[in-house]
Amino acid sequence: MSNVVPSPAQTIDGRKLAAALRVRLKNHVDVLLNDHKILPSLAVVLVGDDPASHVYVANKKKAAEKVGIRSSVHQLPRETSQDEVLKLLHKLNEDARTHGILVQLPLPKQIDTATILRAIEPAKDVDGLTVQNAGRLASGLAGLFPCTPLGCLALIKSVRPQLAGLHAVVVGRSNLVGKPMAQLLLRENCTVTVVHSRSRDLDALTRLGDIVVVAAGKPGLVTAAGIKPGATVIDVGINRAADGTLQGDVDFAAVARVAGAITPVPGGVGPMTIAYLLANTVAAACRQHELTQPDFSI
Ligand code: NDP
């Protein structure tokens, strides 16, 4: 019997990677301002009083300002009608000084999310949620793609620069995370399996993965039994435990004994999501001014 004790997984530091990306972004914003007199600008639309949404929006605003992006928050009361939100979006679409528009989800019940997303000008859709940008991603064209999967891809590439031929398993198939993640990994020439709530034998499916990205919103869903030794594990889940602490979808302690590399929660995907929102805003500003779109991938 072998006495070899497996070495613990490398923890991928999302805060450190996000900080490095913000330095690149700040340099780019400085060039845009000094050489082209362009101030990249992000408008966030926040409807209602969901406390988590308010925290997320405040974090996005602070992060934008740190790299020199102008940000404005359009805060509307919970009872705002769909037409009023559409009117605001129309105004922001037409405003040449606004380069990026983000509607913070979820929206109150009286507002249809799909109708609102359809109303965002695709060139300003920094969350990458319009049908046009989703189609561009699926068709292999350039566009604005969802920030969380972009952040996950950068986290993966920080430890595995060559992805071609690797088997990637994505748990979750939302338009926000799972589907665009699968598309980005396909673009990298991975073999991709997408797992969802109707899939059978989660452990057997995730064990196929050299890379496993988990975005289900179910604390501790993926355990050591579902991980191939040496795999790269990206935990997107954010779940608040009864004691108020944040928990991912992956059993970190147990999986870290099997995986090759793993992201923590918090401090993994979260900071990268915000950094790529800023990257999308800078990219949108460049495209709207017919400048070459910078590449902020790793
Ligand atoms: P959704 O609820 O929209 O999607 C969850 C997905 O997980 C669905 O496709 C669902 O399947 C699947 N799923 C649920 N239960 C299981 C299961 N037991 N086995 C396999 N698949 C399952 O969530 P999001 O994609 O928006 O977000 C996922 C998580 O990521 C959440 O915790 C969210 O808070 C977090 N998040 C974190 C971000 C960050 O920056 N760190 C950003 C965005 C999200 P089905 O389609 O069949 O229902």
CA distances to 13, 207, 220, 247, 265 from 243, rounded to whole Å, are: 24, 31, 16, 11, 15
pTM of the prediction? Answer: 0.97
CA distances to 87, 150, 151 from 83, rounded to whole Å, are: 6, 32, 33
Is residue 183 flagged as an active site residue?
no
Residue 1 in this model has a pLDDT that exceeds 60? no
Q: What is the pLDDT of residues 156-185, one digit of tens each?
A: 999 999 999 999 999 999 999 999 999 999
Residue 130 lies in a domain: no
What's the helix, strand, coil split of the chain in %, to 5?
Answer: 40, 15, 45
Q: Separation of 23 CA from ligand 1 center, angstroms?
A: 30
Same domain? For 151 and 232 the reply is yes
Q: Separation of 195 CA from ligand 1 center, angstroms?
A: 11
Residue 131 lies in a domain: no
Given the residues 16, 62, 95, 127, the one annotated as active site? 127
Please report which confidence band the pLDDT of residue 7 belongs to, taking 50, 70 and 90 as the band edges. Answer: confident
Please report which confidence band the pLDDT of residue 3 belongs to, taking 50, 70 and 90 as the band edges. Answer: low
Cα dihedral 201, 203, 233, 25, rounded to 10, equals 10
CATH of the domain at 86: 3.40.50.10860
Q: What is the pLDDT of residues 105-116, one digit of tens each?
A: 999 999 999 999
Summarize the confidence of residues 266-284 as an average pLDDT.
98
Q: What is the pLDDT of residues 221-261, one digit of tens each?
A: 999 999 999 999 999 999 999 999 999 999 999 999 999 99
70 is in which domain, residue-wise? Answer: 36-123
Same domain? For 119 and 150 the reply is no
